[in-house]
Structure 1
Amino acid sequence: MTDHLIEPAAVERLRSDFDGRIVTELDDDYEDVRGVFNSMLTARPRVVAQCATVADVKAALRYATENGLPVAVRGGGHSVAGACLVDGGLVVDLRRLNAVVVDPETQTAKVGGGAVWSEFDRACQPHGLATTGGRVSTTGVAGLTLGGGSGWIERKFGLACDNLLAVDLVTADGREVTASEQENPDLFWALHGGGGNFGVATELTFRLHEVPEFSIALLLWPADQGRAVAGVYRDLIRTAPEDVGGALLFMTGPPEEFVPGHLVGQLCCGVLVTHLGPETALHDVIGPLLATAPQGQVIADVPYADLQCMLDDPPGFRNYWSDENLRELPDEALDRFCERAYDMVTPSPSQQVLLPWGGAVGRGREWPGFNRDSQWAVHPLGLWAAPADDERAIAWARNLRADMKPWATGDVYLNFIGNEGTDRIVAGYGEENYRRLQRVKAEFDPHNVFNRWHAIEPA
């Protein structure tokens, strides 16, 4: 696994000062503990520190420093870039720090750094409250939020990071700091898109919103109808109220009850429309899409927390994702988008996604890591089983990005991409923001201990 063996005595000293659990390759469940969402990530850490307290986080970081080990931080384990693993190093595993405490009177929630969105959403649902979260329930709350936080209800309530009120952080040298508008405001700014570059987020505080009613429409057509549907969807979103969100996507027809047998396992065009309101009002919104005669459909009132679990991608597949953000979406762009879908690896869980932004996303405060001018995101989300399909799947994602270049803003939403080079990282933040982030990095992590998530070099 590494060039030298783990020193048993050092590991035992760490265990003696630890409330959680220390896992090494000598443990029978090491492979399960090490496993992450993207099976292409094969890094093998020497130590996985399953932290149960903030003191555990500090002890793990101290052990890594004393033994010269590189560090990764794991929440949900969904980082396609591999931020949650490090070969031969130490993983600060936060999954046991997953408490969610909701205060319905102040409409806020305090969330442990290892919580995933299903835990967050289920805790808020009984109070009729929610905030923008990920599109997959097993994604980590902290990782998604610190990277920006795009989700289904962002057109109404903004990004996840727009609703972030405070973050408790442990720095590489063991300091406990709080970042908010009042405390360490430069760090607070940096944590709105700067990801895990500054420390270990042990608790996050969010603003919540009332969501008393929620409904969805999930519609499906054969792929050859996709271009006509895409035009209708684009025009619908341009005039839709901010209560409406969703996505258009090309996908493999799943073996679900609402999918006709002849579409199961075949390339299909799907539209998900999300609505902060009842199903009765949703029918009026989606009338133009229903007029195109979808061959499969579900239109229903659904609790928001249930939607967040409905579309979970299965773990264990090979993953490659990317992103291109657009200011406009003319007919030629839609032509190219729809044509490229035929290069996807199918049948597989891969999706070629078109996401609408605008609304509250466009009005939000300027943070690092998100361009408010972008109106659409083109997101190739590749998941496939066989290594033999690697080249094809990666080429499809890169070619789709190239197709969109004439209309692209030049920036990138970094949560959507893997390792695409320093230029893409700087483009994600913007050059001026990147220089400011470097100054914050130099203050809170001058030795660049936290360098796994789209690394920012200290000034």
Structure 2
Amino acid sequence: MADLPDGRHFFRGDDGYEQARAQTVWNARTPERYPDVVVQAVDADEVVAAVRYAAQHDMRIGVRSGGHSWAGNHVRDGGMLLDVSRLDDCVIDTDTRTAVVGPGMGGSVLAGRLDRQGLFFPAGHCKGVRIGGYLLQGGYGWNSRVLGPACESVLGLDVVTADGERLHIDAEHHPDLYWAARGSGPGFFAVVVAFHLRLYPRPPVCGSSLYVYPMACAEEIYPWARAISAEVDRRVELQIVASRAVPGAGIDSPSIVLASPVFADSEAEATAALALLDTCPVRDRASIAVPYAPSDLDTWYAGVMSNYPTGYRYGTDNMWTSATADELMPGIHRILETMPPHPAHFLWLNWGPSPQRQDMAYSLEDEIYLALYGVWRDAADDDAHGDWARSNLATMEHLQTGVQLADENLGRRPAPFATDAAMAELDRVRSVYDPAGRFHSWMGRV
């Protein structure tokens, strides 16, 4: 009989249970769902023991590696919540430009370690995000328009299967499970205990442009951004963030911010790559206009996190689309008109058209990515702000291709995140490796 780790497992009703349950969700809106037991594993052996215990007691398993996890997909009623955030080892091989990293390693921590060694990986944009869930769902990170979603840089994984067996999976070993691991996100049907990653040379130049416009310019900015979407240099991340205020810039009024990182071989290349963003038709109305400035990851992380404060309550949703500006603008106006106070915000990202991807479960993306982040502090505002993201994007569903799993809200608004063919293959591979349904699937799907 497998045993659970002493002092780090909590059955419902035990002292420490609620703390162990709640701390697995970064979002202060902890779901009202209660597993029978929370297990905090510290190594692969404890993961094996936990999975075997669950099998012996016919428990379903939700797995958490850490990070934002807005929807708390891993927190379910009954069964086991397996917390692997303490598996955060990291071994970097500078000669082969590879690393073996535990699922609990913070992406920003990994990025910092690599930066000091002249290396780079497309880690996530937010501090605190652990690589486990980030890589399983796809991984939209720094310079991903060039390097691809981070899951394309996963060379292999060490996993524990539903029957408690440890496997190394890659393109040659259990290739179907390897295929499934790259893009299935919170519905993956094994526990990852280590990722084997391909690393890259650190880009010689990192910089960005910054433009801040009044919200009244929306009618000109978004159609222009849509019109140039195919022309944006892939080394540039054209991120447009609308919010009621921009505290970091000292602006206390509704604004649209174009903050666009660039990665290049020289400052001349970086400046040239960003030049297109200086062609906005309302350029003369910008309260701040910086066509190019050198930057670094620490500065970018600090800027991003001003929109994602710790201890707040979040309601998120997203969509991929290739719709025209004329089709999108009614919904965008509604988003802007109903937006809660800062730090709630609306993100527009020019993503595609994208190159041919590797064959993997990750299989759905489009030209434009839209994401809404309702962010508020007081639980008394849940009714006022909690459905802002979902309800606005529900009215635009006829324009969506699907959603990405990073900002999923599948429990409240089911939507496709992979092609029909990929979903059929995921179901087939699940039937092979997890025939009893030991691991929870995605919320919104049985």
Q: TM-score, normalised by structure 1?
A: 0.85
1:74-153 equivalences under 5 Å are: 74-153=64-143
Q: 1:220 to 1:168 in 2, by over 3 A?
A: same
Deviates more, 1:444-453 or 1:268-277: 444-453
Counterpart selection for 2:343 from 349, 373, 377: 349
Conserved in 2, the CA contact under 8 Å of 1:245 and 1:273? yes
Q: For 2:86, what is the secondary structure of its paired residue? A: coil
1:2-17 equivalences under 5 Å are: 14-15=4-5
Conserved in 2, the CA contact under 8 Å of 1:100 and 1:119? no
Identity %: 25
> Are positions 1:419 and 2:414 aligned together?
no
Counterpart selection for 2:431 from 430, 442, 446: 442
1:147-162 equivalences under 5 Å are: 147-162=137-152
Distance 1:178 1:422 in 2: 35
Cross-structure match for 2:182:
192
> Are positions 1:173 and 2:163 aligned together?
yes
Cross-structure match for 2:371:
379
Distance 1:422 1:228 in 2: 30
Distance 1:390 1:54 in 2: 39
Cross-structure match for 2:295:
302
Measured after TM superposition, the shift of residue 400 of structure 1 is 3.1
Letter in structure 1 aligned against 2:426: L
Conserved in 2, the CA contact under 8 Å of 1:329 and 1:376? no
Q: For 2:238, what is the secondary structure of its paired residue? A: strand
Conserved in 2, the CA contact under 8 Å of 1:318 and 1:384? yes
Conserved in 2, the CA contact under 8 Å of 1:167 and 1:205? yes
1:61-103 CA-to-partner distances (Å, cap 9, x unmatched) read: 2233334443221111422232232344432211221122222
Measured after TM superposition, the shift of residue 279 of structure 1 is 5.5
> Are positions 1:21 and 2:3 aligned together?
no
Distance 1:391 1:351 in 2: 18
Distance 1:191 1:414 in 2: 13
Conserved in 2, the CA contact under 8 Å of 1:52 and 1:96? yes
Number of residue pairs matched? 433
1:346-394 CA-to-partner distances (Å, cap 9, x unmatched) read: 1x322111111125x432224334324x101111122223344434435
Structure 2 unaligned runs (5+)? none
Letter in structure 2 aligned against 1:221: Y
Q: 1:124 to 1:174 in 2, by over 3 A?
A: same
1:276-333 CA-to-partner distances (Å, cap 9, x unmatched) read: 0355654442322593442246653222355245412123322222222112432442
Q: 1:329 to 1:282 in 2, by over 3 A?
A: farther
Measured after TM superposition, the shift of residue 158 of structure 1 is 0.5
> Are positions 1:428 and 2:402 aligned together?
no
Conserved in 2, the CA contact under 8 Å of 1:75 and 1:84? no
> Are positions 1:230 and 2:222 aligned together?
yes
Distance 2:180 2:270 in 1: 38
Cross-structure match for 1:451:
440
Cross-structure match for 2:261:
274
Cross-structure match for 1:6:
none
Distance 1:311 1:78 in 2: 14
1:137-170 CA-to-partner distances (Å, cap 9, x unmatched) read: 2112121111111224221111011111111110
Counterpart selection for 1:50 from 32, 36, 40: 40
Measured after TM superposition, the shift of residue 123 of structure 1 is 1.8
Q: For 1:341, what is the secondary structure of its paired residue? A: helix
Deviates more, 1:379-388 or 1:181-190: 379-388
Q: 1:306 to 1:122 in 2, by over 3 A?
A: farther
Conserved in 1, the CA contact under 8 Å of 2:122 and 2:142? yes
Distance 1:177 1:21 in 2: 25
Conserved in 1, the CA contact under 8 Å of 2:185 and 2:405? no
Q: 1:440 to 1:406 in 2, by over 3 A?
A: closer
Distance 2:60 2:359 in 1: 32
Distance 2:17 2:268 in 1: 49
Structure 1 unaligned runs (5+)? 1-9
Letter in structure 1 aligned against 2:261: T
Distance 1:99 1:252 in 2: 40
Cross-structure match for 2:237:
245
Conserved in 2, the CA contact under 8 Å of 1:75 and 1:95? yes
Deviates more, 1:413-422 or 1:74-83: 413-422
Conserved in 1, the CA contact under 8 Å of 2:5 and 2:41? no
Distance 1:89 1:297 in 2: 53
> Are positions 1:321 and 2:316 aligned together?
yes
> Are positions 1:73 and 2:63 aligned together?
yes
1:251-282 CA-to-partner distances (Å, cap 9, x unmatched) read: 232432x32xxx32x33211120100355654
Measured after TM superposition, the shift of residue 193 of structure 1 is 1.2
Cross-structure match for 1:288:
279
Measured after TM superposition, the shift of residue 239 of structure 1 is 1.6
Letter in structure 2 aligned against 1:343: T
Q: For 2:428, what is the secondary structure of its paired residue? A: helix
Measured after TM superposition, the shift of residue 121 of structure 1 is 0.9
Distance 1:305 1:160 in 2: 20
Distance 2:271 2:329 in 1: 25
Cross-structure match for 1:393:
385
> Are positions 1:330 and 2:345 aligned together?
no
Q: For 2:53, what is the secondary structure of its paired residue? A: helix
Distance 2:69 2:441 in 1: 10
Counterpart selection for 2:247 from 233, 245, 255: 255
Distance 1:378 1:142 in 2: 23
